[in-house]
Amino acid sequence: MILSEEISLLKSFTHYFLHLVFPVFIALIFFRKNWKKAYLIMLATMLVDLDHLFANPVFDPSRNSIGFHFLHSYYAIGIYFLMLFFKGNIRIIAVGLLFHMFTDFQDFSLWQH
């Protein structure tokens, strides 16, 4: 029981670290000149989770967001990928959205216990 609780805590920590802290490193590495702006834009891409409000229940820990919610669909991810080929803020948004999708993917796929 304790091991399961520890894994759940580590899973939550990893999820929120990847959503809130790791984008700082992405911004510093890929958008050094305007890293603060890039970081804030990437944080703003978390608004993509508003599509969870259309699900019932809104949060289900046993549900994979990828492929379930419309802004987490494979079509949407394809659009986010195409956005990488634009310059400026569009590219930053694309990076933020794609990293968000990676975070949600790893949250469901790599932490099954």
CA distance 57 to 80: 26
CA distance 94 to 92: 5
Given a contact cutoff of 8 angstroms between Cβ atoms, the answer to whether 98 and 76 are in contact is no
Could you say which DSSP state residue 19 is in? I
Whether 113 has a pLDDT exceeding 60, the answer reads no
99's enclosing H/E stretch is helix 89-109
Instruction: Give the mean model confidence (pLDDT) for residues 61-74.
Output: 93
Confidence (pTM)? 0.91
- pLDDT greater at residue 61 or residue 66: 66
pLDDT value of position 68: 95
Share the mean pLDDT of the chain.
Answer: 93
Return the structure tokens found at 75: 């079509």
pLDDT value of position 108: 83
pLDDT band for position 2 (cuts 50, 70, 90): low
Whether 5 has a pLDDT exceeding 90, the answer reads no
